[in-house]
Amino acid sequence: MTRGQRVLDVVIVGAGAVGACLSHALSARGFEVGVVDAETGDERASIRTSALSRASLRHLSDLGLWPLEGVEPAPLRALQILDRDGRGRLRFDSADVGEEDLGAIVNHGLLEAALRKKARALGGLWVRERGEGVVIDDSGVEVVTKGGRRLRARLLIAADGAQSAIREQLGVPVVQYRYGQTAVCADMRLGNAHEGVAWQRFLANGPCALLPLPDAHRASLIWSATDQEAAHLRALSDASFARALHEAFGDHLGPLRVEGERAYFPLVAAHARHYTGSRFALVGDAAHRVHPLAGQGVNLGLADAHTLTKTLQSARSHSADPGSRRVLRAYERERKAENLAMLLATDLLNRAFRTDRAWVRTILGAGLNVTDTLPLLKTFFMGAAGATIPRLTHDAL
């Protein structure tokens, strides 16, 4: 530490949705926060959406971050799930949990930009550079940026996403699995109005979802295909792509048309061996990465941010050091179980619906209709949306 160097409470590396939200939450509670993010952006972020659960909307609202200027949400009124053989059909309605909606679909690029703007408005020290180096000693941690700036704090939070350079610097091991699938994303124009319903069909190569957008005839596509199939889809013209999608998904929303560009995301499940250590904590995709079939990545990250904020607030009220292992372990304990459960559940569903074993598919198809046989599905798709397990309506195709 150099003499006279300012010591912040927290330095956050990465201001995606999770880092920005955390920075806002901590600044609002009087923590001295530094944020390091090059803000170079991923242009693909505006070609996809995020489904925000009711729990996330509640957290954001408690922080004064919802509604969010610059973000037009599409309310999610219901979720319609279909299996690949057309045997099973399952529907969750917001009315089943006594709510107006199950959450909201938002443009991911706009969400990130709006959260960052709100966080910046609360002040703090923002450095528009990449964080590259980390030096930890007994009393604090120093982050060194690409341009050679040094930020010192009592706690470092890595919110720098799935490829976290900070996690690597910290030497935290990661268990990673490549699905061999790529999510193909695009905005689609629909022949029929979506009426606030998100559709998800489990196809032979992965799930294919059409999520409602604010325009009643527009939906956001997330089609998880094998890498090979995705490469084939990439080579198609918009018209041929739309026909291929219509054939795979079915005629539930009428004829489909691509609007704007398509984007491609290789899918990976990953989990850091630990989320915390002396003077550091990992949040969001830097700690865990799940299959997007249940739209939970941001939601889990926002829950990390919420729990870590509570943990640090409680530490401060007991005059405890925010960077101590003991304090940070409480955060890790609380979040690890839920994140791991979601990782495993998404993985299991992705595999189960893709299986070629006819007997498994028959059971799954029946399970979608006889809803009580699949309590996992109920809690899984609805758990984040509301605490109550809904009464489900079901009908055969």
Closer by beta carbon to ligand FAD, 265 or else 331: 265
- Give least dist CB 163 to ligand FAD, A: 7
Neighbours of 180 (CB within 10 A): 13
Closer by beta carbon to ligand FAD, 298 or else 371: 298
- Give least dist CB 185 to ligand FAD, A: 5
Closer by beta carbon to ligand FAD, 299 or else 309: 299
Which residues fall within 8 angstroms of residue 371, CB to CB, at 6 or more apart? 90, 377, 378, 392, 394
- Give least dist CB 317 to ligand FAD, A: 27
> d(Cα 202, Cα 242) in Å, to the nearest integer?
18
Closer by beta carbon to ligand FAD, 253 or else 300: 300
Per DSSP, the residues of 179-240 read EEEEEEEEEEEESS--TTEEEEEEETTEEEEEEE-SSTTEEEEEEEEEHHHHHHHHHS-HHH
Closer by beta carbon to ligand FAD, 51 or else 57: 51
- Give least dist CB 260 to ligand FAD, A: 15
- Give least dist CB 77 to ligand FAD, A: 16
* For helices 325-354 and 375-383, angle between their N-to-C axes, nearest 10 degrees: 130
Interacting residues toward ligand FAD by CB under 6 A: 13-19, 36-38, 48, 50-51, 108, 130-131, 159-162, 165, 183, 185, 222, 265, 284-285, 292, 295-299, 301
Closer by beta carbon to ligand FAD, 221 or else 364: 221
Closer by beta carbon to ligand FAD, 199 or else 367: 199
> d(Cα 62, Cα 80) in Å, to the nearest integer?
30
- Give least dist CB 165 to ligand FAD, A: 4
Helix locations, the chain, DSSP H: 17-28, 54-62, 108-121, 165-170, 227-235, 238-249, 297-317, 325-354, 358-369, 375-383
Q: What separation in angstroms does the CA of 310 have from each of 22, 156, 355?
A: 11, 16, 42
> d(Cα 181, Cα 188) in Å, to the nearest integer?
21
- Give least dist CB 51 to ligand FAD, A: 4
